[in-house]
Amino acid sequence: MTTTPATGAGPLRFALTFTLCFAALFGGFEASRGSAFERFVVEDLILVPTIALIDRITPEDHAELTSGRVIASPGANLHVTRGCEGIEMFLLLVSGIIAFPASARRRVQGLLLGSLLAYTLSISRLMALHYILHYSPAAWEALHGLVLPLAPIILMGLFFMDWSGRAVQPARPRSAHAA
């Protein structure tokens, strides 16, 4: 475990690669808006399971997905807009793992575990937003504006710190006779 967020051999290189990767992934996902792929990711992979879980936990809510990506129920209509789906957590994870120097095995491990965490956090965040809007709208501002967007990303950041601390490859011993 490192004492700081490990950034590999060059913080500047890590920062640049991370930012460029994130920008490229963001651009790619934005370009896919409205496509079957984007609908599959946002609706089938995220929104439908979220609503299934809400219906399982609180069937009396009668939550359903309506057009315009609204999680609708008699007590609350949650409009899931661009940036609220939680996709950014996957993009941050992928960018961080690409930018950080690690073995292929470690990268795959980080991507798998991180994706699982990001997926869980995405669904949990949407469920939390639904329940806040339904049962405690007074808390909406603080939670929707700051805590729920930022807390999952912070958790992803802590996961990344842990992964990067473990993923630092041992330096090869330098030969005394090297030219």
Partner 1 sequence: MRPDIRWGLAAAAALAIGVGCAEPYARLAAPYYRLVDELLATGHPWEIAGVAVAPGRTAFTAELQLQGYVRRSMSAANHAARVVGRVQVGEVVETPLVFWTLLLVWPATTLRQRAWRLAVGIPVFFGVEALTTGTQLMLPLAQASAILAGNPDPTVWDHWSRFLEFGGQFVLDCVAAMLIATGTARDARLRGVRVQQN
In eight-state DSSP terms, residue 62 is -
Nearer Cβ to partner 1 (54/101) = 101
Ranges within 113-142 binding partner 1 (CB under 8 A): 137-142
The CA radius of gyration of the chain, in Å to the nearest whole number, is 20
Length of the chain, in residues: 179
Q: What whole-number distance in Å separates Cα of residue 148 and Cα of residue 122?
A: 10
- Give whichever of 61 and 88 is closer to partner 1, judged by the CB atom: 88
Q: Does 59 bind partner 1 (CB under 8 A)?
A: no
Q: How far is the CB of 55 from partner 1 (least distance, A)?
A: 25
User: Quick one: which H or E segment has residue 65?
Assistant: strand 64-66
Spell out the SS3 assignment of 141-169: HHHHHHHHHHHHHHHHHHHHHHHHHHHCC
Instruction: Output the smallest distance, CB 124 to partner 1, in A.
Output: 16
Among 47, 54, 69, 88, binds partner 1 (CB under 8 A): 88
Cβ at position 59, least distance to partner 1 in Å:
27
Find the binding residues for partner 1 in span 65-84 (CB under 8 A): 82-83
Strand partners, 79: 70
Tokens describing residue 44: 């089938």
Residue reference for tokens 């009396």? 60
Interface with partner 1, residue 5, by CB under 8 A = yes
- Residues at the site binding partner 1, with contacts judged by CB under 8 A: 1-12, 15, 18-19, 22-23, 26, 29-30, 82-83, 87-89, 91-92, 95, 137-142, 144-147, 149-151, 153-154, 157-158, 161-162, 165, 168, 171, 174
